[in-house]
């Protein structure tokens, strides 16, 4: 990553969904003394708490109350942060929502669209808005999920959105490589955040969020193109993607579906 300019100023970091969960943990993982960090999210109080934690570590926090579905608002945020702090060395498109959906339930149509808009279009809008203010070289990461490897019962919107994010980031990696930008696709398994707190099914290898964030930072800074964590989930994910359909259906058809009520959280 570009870790500073000729003046010695540390390169800025931008994180969406920074009001809690993985987003806040990533902000803390990057909270080097003197580093400017933009915290983007929809909940001002949560962003203020994240900012307080960053400033205690000596980082400079800039709060932007913004919805990643609003591309023009993200454009304005990118320009403001660039004018205040200079080029962005690390951009992390983390904002996402998780909620169960059923195709047969007509009331879930709007929920399905919201999930896709935030989880997929929000990543694209974020990357598009900040491309012009990225340092060279720079690091970009998007948070996908192992749920994007195969469709899960009762989670069609979430699985589909994360599968699309994986494909989008792969395309982006190829598009931006020649410009000196390294793109990392991150696929977490079960991470201990408010988003997973109410899942009604077993969550093997549940990982503490601060541990996950430190591993994510190492992968992003190293310019790695792909990270699945925790490590056992990477092996399981590899096997799941190759499991024959009849076996996959037999194993997963009877699992409890993802809760349909919103858990209301950024990661």
Q: Which residues are catalytic?
A: 158
Q: Which two tokens stand for residue 187?
A: 């696929």
Q: Which two tokens stand for residue 23?
A: 């987003």
Phi, psi of 82 (to 5 degrees): -65, -45
What's the longest Cα–Cα distance across the chain?
Answer: 60
- The CA dihedral of 103, 106, 109, 112, to the nearest 10 degrees, is -40
Which class for 202: exposed (0-12), middle (13-18), buried (19 or more C-beta within 10 A)?
A: exposed
Residue 38's closest CA among 25, 49, 51, 29? 51
């Amino acid at each position: 990553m570009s870790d500073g300019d000729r003046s010695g100023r540390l390169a800025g970091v931008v994180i969406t969904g920074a009001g809690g969960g993985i987003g806040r943990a990533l902000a803390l993982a990057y909270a080097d003394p003197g580093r400017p960090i933009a915290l983007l999210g929809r909940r001002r109080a949560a962003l203020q708490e994240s900012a307080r934690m960053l400033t205690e570590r000596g980082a400079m926090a800039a709060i932007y109350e913004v919805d990643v579905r609003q591309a023009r608002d993200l454009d304005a945020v990118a320009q403001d942060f660039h004018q205040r702090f200079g080029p962005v060395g690390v951009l992390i498109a983390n904002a996402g929502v998780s909620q169960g959906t059923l195709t047969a339930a007509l009331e879930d149509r709007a929920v399905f669209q919201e999930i896709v808009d935030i989880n997929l279009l929000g990543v694209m809008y974020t990357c598009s808005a900040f491309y012009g203010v990225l340092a060279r070289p720079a690091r970009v990461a998007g948070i996908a999920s192992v749920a994007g490897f195969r469709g899960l019962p009762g989670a069609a919107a979430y699985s589909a959105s994360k599968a699309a994010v994986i494909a989008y980031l792969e395309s982006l990696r190829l598009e931006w490589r020649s410009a000196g930008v390294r793109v990392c696709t991150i696929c977490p398994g079960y991470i201990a955040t408010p988003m997973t707190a109410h899942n009604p099914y077993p969550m093997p290898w549940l990982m503490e969020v601060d541990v996950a964030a430190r591993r994510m930072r190492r992968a992003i800074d190293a310019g790695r193109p792909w990270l699945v964590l925790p490590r056992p989930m990477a092996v399981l994910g590899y096997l799941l993607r190759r499991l024959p359909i009849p076996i996959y259906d037999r194993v997963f058809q009877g699992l409890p579906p993802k809760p349909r009520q919103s858990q209301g959280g950024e990661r």
